[in-house]
Amino acid sequence: MHHALHIKNGIVIDPKNGVKAEKMDIFVKDGKIVEESEVKGEDVKVIDASNKLVVAGGVDMHAHIAGSKINTGRTMRPEEMRVVRNIANKFRAAVGRVLLTSPAIGYEYAKMGYTSSFEAAQPPIGALHTHEELDAIPMIDKAALPVFGNWHFVFKYVEAKDIEKLKTFIAWALERTKGFGVKVVNPGGVEAWMYGGNVKSLDDQVPSFNVTPREIITSLIKAVEELKLNHSVHIHCNRLGVPGNYETTIETIKLAGGFSNDARQVLHVTHVQFNAYAGDSWRTVSSGAEEIAKTVNSMDNVTIDMGQPIFGHATAMTGDAPFQFTLHRLTGARWSNKDSEVEGGAGIVPLVYLPKNPVHALQWAIGLELGLLIDSDKVVLTTDYPNGGPFTEYPYIMAMLMSKKMREGELEKVSPYVQKASNLPAIDTEKALEEVIHMTRSLPARILGLPQKGHLGVGADADIAIYNLNPLEIDTSNDFEKVYKAFKTAEYTIKSGRILVKNGELVDEHWGKTYWVDATGKVDMEAIKPDLEDYFKYYSVELQNYGVEERWLKKPERIVI
């Protein structure tokens, strides 16, 4: 096997390094991008990329790809598994419509030129399960974000205003779950659900704890910033899926105001589409995207991702258990729920986005509004897979953001309700190819705090996608079908210097790394030991048996803070 590559004559777009569609050669050795001189005298495989687009591999910073939620979804929905994507041969059998099996997840990302994906909600006590599934996904690098916002330990330390102990607890939890960063889902609201309720504002008190969502969020931001974790607090806001929730979202975004970090945002607000509704009922609902966009654009320390719905099948699965129940009541669809010890909960409900349904069409429009109205340096492209639909339709979103003409065509097919309830029809913005590349590569990598990802500079991981698209010639406004097709299947996907996909076909299998962040060196772990020992009486497992050891993982990559 060649361990060096020379990607010749490609047209490179590499936003992080300021490369805007330049004809350039890229050299790869031992899984990294290197200078030309480094491959001299090596057995180099040359890839002719003439007239083709060469970019870094895609980075999905928020998807639900592993763990008890997606797996319950699979069990609940065998009808999702009847699409056969690969018959067992050199590669594994792969099936799934929107919900995919683990092998299918890896294969589909690779075929699309994506090389990393982050599981965005890991129930802490279920961490081992999440990691087993991550280890069953071939091709890509991955990581998981454990969920903190309804964990009793967090409530207790926030209640006591003890940021030191909160920091220690975060470090402990990341180490035990082999997690990457701090995810927060409907802080306080899931605890309220244990009593059949929810929280309705940032200042509602959490039942039986003297804390509010506002205090939980700000304390977690403070702790994460003092720990200097790679990734900021990553929040699924309160009041998701409720008309009028955009105001809560804006209030939440503003909580980042008092904090700063030179390298990245201090708050990432996820799948904002689901939290961007104005109006006071489903009958009067309209888009709150413009107000949210104004707020995000006015701040220099907040980023978001879209959570774009794709028309067709989807499965709602979140740690926001009360929302999932509301959705079940609204649609009458199947409902799974999982209350989890003293850590929070989750729910799963199948759904389908119909273009002629006024609310679904509005959701679709809001996602796009966010993508178009927010600075390309602050908004990442996601579907919140599988909540908004498949990740395999990222190319559709990319093409839509770059072409008003495409959007006009699509607008004709959807409910006319969007004409009055959203601003999408009036938006002329067409993102440039570099911007969309940034929104799918360099930006998510920066937000996650992964300097070796999302770009093609010397020293970066050799995760590279080559697409059959010449950026010097393509008219992205008019040739949107070509753009869509090109991004759908990569000509080449190269992961850690290995060619995994050629002409859209899998050619090699690779097992990526699982990143986790070790901040235990920054805190005094002894400080919370008595608390852990005491409060674990409310667990149904022993403290000593809680968590995941590194040696149980296939390819762990520890990042020491």
Partner 1 sequence: MAEENIVCTFCGSVCDDGQFDTEKFKSKKLCKLGSSKFSKKERIKAPMIDGKEVSYEEAIEKAAEILVNAKKPLLYGWASTVNEAIRLGVILTEKVRGVYDQCASVCHAPGTLAVIEEGLPGGSLGAVKNRADVVIFWGSNPMEAHPRHGMRYSISAKGLLIKDRKQRKVIVVDVRPTKTAKLADEFVQIKPGYDYPIISALRAIISGNADAVPDEVGGVSKEKLVELAETMKNAKYGVIFYGLGVTQSRGRDRNIENAVKLIQLLNRHTRWIIWPMRGHYNVVGAGEVPAWEAGYQYAIDFSRGYPRFSPAEFSAVEVLKRRDCDAALIIASDPVAHFPRTAVKHLKSISVIQIDPFPNMTTLVANVVIPSAVAGLEAEGTAYRMDGIPLRVKKIVETNYWSDEQILEKLLEKVEELKR
Enumerate binding residues for partner 1 (CB under 8 A): 66, 68, 70-72, 74-78, 80-81, 84, 86-89, 92-93, 95-96, 101-103, 125-129, 132-133, 136, 193-196, 325, 328-329, 334-342, 345, 348-349, 538-542, 544-545, 549, 552
Helix axes 358-373, 289-298, angle to 10 degrees: 20
Which residues is 60 bridged to in the sheet? 117
Q: CB 412 → partner 1: shortest distance, Å?
A: 36
Q: CB 316 → partner 1: shortest distance, Å?
A: 12
249-280 burial, b if ≥16 CB within 10 A, otherwise e?
Answer: bbbbbebbeebebeebbbbbbbbbbbbbbbbe
Residue 114 or 169: the one with the smaller Cβ distance to Zn ion is 114
Site for Zn ion (CB under 5 A): which residue of 384, 410, 463, 508? 384
Q: How many residues sit close enough to Zn ion to count as binding (CB under 5 A)?
A: 2
Among the listed residues 407, 381, 383, the one whose alpha carbon sits nearest the alpha carbon of residue 478 = 407
x/- string (CB under 5 A) for Zn ion, residues 103-142? -----------------x----------------------
Residue 160 or 541: the one with the smaller Cβ distance to partner 1 is 541
Residue 162 or 384: the one with the smaller Cβ distance to Zn ion is 384
136, interface contact from partner 1, Zn ion, none, CB < 5-8 Å by kind? partner 1
Q: CB 272 → partner 1: shortest distance, Å?
A: 27
Q: CB 345 → partner 1: shortest distance, Å?
A: 7
Q: CB 338 → partner 1: shortest distance, Å?
A: 6
Which residues is 303 bridged to in the sheet? 268
Report whether 548 contacts 124 (CB < 8 A): no
Q: CB 239 → Zn ion: shortest distance, Å?
A: 15
Based on the shown chain and the rule CB under 5 A, indicate whether residue 435 belongs to the binding site for Zn ion: no
C-beta pairs of 28-31 under 8 Å, 24+ apart in sequence: 28/4, 28/462, 28/464, 28/494, 28/497, 29/3, 29/4, 29/5, 29/497, 30/3, 30/497, 31/461, 31/462, 31/496, 31/497, 31/498
Residue 2 or 338: the one with the smaller Cβ distance to partner 1 is 338
Helix (H) or strand (E) holding 21, with range, is strand 19-29
120, interface contact from Zn ion, partner 1, none, CB < 5-8 Å by kind? Zn ion
Based on the shown chain and the rule CB under 5 A, indicate whether residue 321 belongs to the binding site for Zn ion: no
Q: CB 118 → partner 1: shortest distance, Å?
A: 17
CA distance 234 to 355: 30
On the question of a cis peptide bond just before residue 386, with omega within 30 degrees of 0, the verdict is: yes
Report whether 267 contacts 231 (CB < 8 A): no
Count of other CB atoms within 10 angstroms of residue 233: 28
What residue ranges bind Zn ion (CB under 5 A)? 120, 384
